[in-house]
Structure 1
Amino acid sequence: MALASALACALLGGLAAGAGALEGGPTPSTPGGPTVDEVRGADAPGAIDGEYIVVLKESGARAAAADELRTTTSVRDLAGSLLSAADAEEADTRRVFASALKGFTLTADRAQARRLAAEPAVAYVEQNRTERGDDTQQDPSWGLDRVDQRDLPLNESYRYAETAAGVTAYVVDSGIRVGHEDFGGRASYGYDFVDDDAEAQDCNGHGTHVAGTVGGETYGMAKKADLVAVRVLNCENRGTTEDVLAGYDWVAAHAVLPAVANVSIGGAATDAKDAAVTGMVEAGVTVAVSAGNDDGDACQQSPARAPDVLTVAASTDTDARWSESNYGDCVDLFAPGADILSAGIDSDTASARKSGTSMATPHVTGAAALYLAGHPEATPEEVTKALRSAATEDRITEAGAESPNTLLYSRF
């Protein structure tokens, strides 16, 4: 204890003598008040409120003393002296480190952490954060397999650092078979505008397939996202503009952020649909829409032509544009859309294969959910920019006139 006390005095006193000569260093929070410094990562994604990591200096004035910090006991004793000097005795030391680095963690309030950061013996203070391992799914659908790598051939795995837990994905479509095992209890009904009731059950299969690619445990990009069914298409996968607009309006009114919406619905270009889908974006929802399956200009459809959404064209497993996919300068990204395996509606374990820009779009929706999991305060504009910037360039053959040659990439 005597050694630790002497060490603390040497560190605190010796470093304090030279601290005042450093420009841009710690400053008093108020004239005559305690000296404070910033906490690194205080507002970063995953920051844990009230928990901090203190890293001690091991160079310069304290190099000679650093050798004495070889045991957890000596570090803990120094931690106590530092907390006292920073007027933070009420803070609770949690763990101490004396091998890979010299430092300790503690529970404290922000003011205490800032005062501690200004202590001469402290290199810096960081906010504690959540961390997540990079999971890998073996033998995924080819679409998942493709978007986590830049080049072919496929490597029969899908790597992901996030699961999008805490992100809500609204599927504006034919409903969802919410009891399907691939959704793991995370799928729920929003509203059914076809039958005008609260049970948005899927009797076509299109919406369930889309939802599976967005957030299924086996088939999905974002494996822990909450899925909400907003039914606007009937059992024949058809609907009315009125019902579609009602679905968009419902999402804008009820969205729980952070949120994404998948709109794998095409049709004639109308100002009302463009305005309504833009309204979802203005409500804070990142919206991905299908480019359409007419082998034509996506700018001739709504909401594909709307400026503030992510418009998605379809690619094949050879990185060619799927033959029926729309194209053009209204397209933002290509994503896998041919022969996609996902959840089916025949039973709670059923699967189905479908093709189209409707199948490409949920890959992008899921990727947007993954981005929001790590950046929950991001705006739709910021999410869109991130996905465009991360995209793999110049891989799509026969992309179509004026199409951006950009393929979805999920490893941000």
Structure 2
Amino acid sequence: MLLALAPGALGSPAEASTPQGSAGSTQSNPSLSLDRIDQRDLPLSRSYSWTTKAENVHVYVVDTAIHGTHVDFEGRVTEGVDLVGGPRNSDVCFFSGTATASLVGGAKYGAAKGVQLKSVRVRDCWQETTPARVVAGINWVTAHAQRPAVAVLPFVLAPNNAVDEAIRKSVKSGVSWVTSASGAKHASEDACSVSPARVSEAITATPLDVALSSTTGDVLRGDARRGPCVDVAAPSSGPTAMGPGNGQNLWDRGGSDSAYTAGAAALLLGEHPTWTPTQVHQELVRKSTKDKLNPGTIGATPNRILYTGAA
């Protein structure tokens, strides 16, 4: 469901131009999801703060194409590779990649508002792909990534050893990979049963429904996959994202768990550019907010919520 935007959600021009490495800034009236990840406890503060925009970090969005000329990206999108080909004459050809990129690093809804965004197109205009095409996209990132680098793959595939192994090799090469465990048909589905969410070297996020107050508390979204392969729960409540075009063409974006987590990984690399993927992974888990989810609803899923604030 789309939520109404609060006035001033984009923040001031000064905020949008805050340089990486400065004292940071604060965005008033952000999305619910951004509001949740920079604080430990409810109720929501109606602000989102950061200490770096991570302008030195390159984030590879392995998805559909990104509408790179959207004003929200401030000229920070470049096309890496298109492994689909053919015409891209419809907005749907850009939907998922644009939305994901805007949550990773867009000026309005992004977690890391200064990252360099790279489009790696492996899904067509109907959001379809093949394992072989996904492997080719992962391998392209491994071969061409500018470091420090984060890559996000915001969808799942049936178990596939070739996909999993490509992710492992890419992590070993120095790229931090973030995957999603969303989109389950039943709440009992295990994240360890899909690729590449089951890859332990990747950072796997599952979707969180954000609560407005401490009375109700945070819960996993209904289609969140669970289990020990999940690293953190990341917000997917009111995940308003930019759609194709240049205006306020808003989409309600599912699967935003991996996008926000990729943004959080980029924030860490913005301040620690020499960190390895293992260090980034471990720090995201260490910093996460613990024991705020109802333990009776999560099964074997770690009780951790993504956190980008001060440790």
CA distance in 2, matches of 1:252, 1:404: 29
- Is 1:289–1:310's contact at 8 Å kept on the other side of the alignment? yes
- Is 2:284–2:306's contact at 8 Å kept on the other side of the alignment? yes
Paired position in structure 1 for 2:264: 367
The within-5 A match list for 1:19-168 is 132-168=22-58
Residues 202 and 283 of structure 1: is their aligned pair in 2 closer, same or farther, counting only changes over 3 Å? farther
Q: How many Å apart are 1:346 and its aligned residue?
A: 4.3
CA distance in 2, matches of 1:344, 1:367: 21
Q: How many Å apart are 1:270 and its aligned residue?
A: 1.2
Per chain length, whose mean CA-contact separation is higher, i.e. which structure has more relative contact order (CA < 8 Å, sep 6+)? Answer: 2
- Is 1:338–1:354's contact at 8 Å kept on the other side of the alignment? no
1:279 aligns with 2:169: yes
Paired position in structure 2 for 1:406: 304
- Is 1:262–1:289's contact at 8 Å kept on the other side of the alignment? yes
- Is 2:99–2:251's contact at 8 Å kept on the other side of the alignment? yes
CA distance in 1, matches of 2:282, 2:105: 22
CA distance in 1, matches of 2:151, 2:49: 23
Q: How many residues align?
A: 280
Q: Deviations over 1:40-73 (max 9, x none)?
A: xxxxxxxxxxxxxxxxxxxxxxxxxxxxxxxxxx
1:334 aligns with 2:233: yes
State the one-letter code of the partner of 1:354.
Answer: R
1:304 aligns with 2:197: yes
1:263 aligns with 2:263: no
CA distance in 2, matches of 1:244, 1:333: 24
CA distance in 1, matches of 2:75, 2:234: 27
User: TM-score by structure 1 length?
Assistant: 0.66
User: TM-score by structure 2 length?
Assistant: 0.86
Paired position in structure 2 for 1:117: none
State the one-letter code of the partner of 2:193.
Answer: Q
1:392 aligns with 2:289: yes
State the one-letter code of the partner of 2:133.
Answer: D
Residues 131 and 275 of structure 1: is their aligned pair in 2 closer, same or farther, counting only changes over 3 Å? closer
CA distance in 2, matches of 1:250, 1:160: 31
1:240 aligns with 2:139: no
Please tell me the root mean square deviation across aligned C-alpha atoms, in Å: 1.9
CA distance in 2, matches of 1:131, 1:227: 19
Paired position in structure 1 for 2:68: 178
CA distance in 1, matches of 2:87, 2:193: 33
CA distance in 1, matches of 2:244, 2:70: 8
Paired position in structure 2 for 1:169: 59
SS at match of 2:158: coil
SS at match of 1:229: strand
CA distance in 1, matches of 2:178, 2:271: 19
Q: Which runs of 5+ in 2 are unaligned?
A: 1-19, 212-217
CA distance in 2, matches of 1:202, 1:259: 27
Paired position in structure 2 for 1:289: 179
- Is 2:32–2:237's contact at 8 Å kept on the other side of the alignment? no
Q: Which runs of 5+ in 1 are unaligned?
A: 1-129
CA distance in 1, matches of 2:21, 2:138: 35
State the one-letter code of the partner of 1:410.
Answer: T
- Is 1:180–1:349's contact at 8 Å kept on the other side of the alignment? no
Q: How many Å apart are 1:339 and its aligned residue?
A: 2.8
Residues 226 and 131 of structure 1: is their aligned pair in 2 closer, same or farther, counting only changes over 3 Å? closer
CA distance in 1, matches of 2:142, 2:247: 30
Residues 234 and 131 of structure 1: is their aligned pair in 2 closer, same or farther, counting only changes over 3 Å? closer
Q: How many Å apart are 1:396 and its aligned residue?
A: 1.7
Residues 372 and 399 of structure 1: is their aligned pair in 2 closer, same or farther, counting only changes over 3 Å? farther
CA distance in 1, matches of 2:164, 2:176: 14
1:193 aligns with 2:83: yes
CA distance in 2, matches of 1:378, 1:331: 22
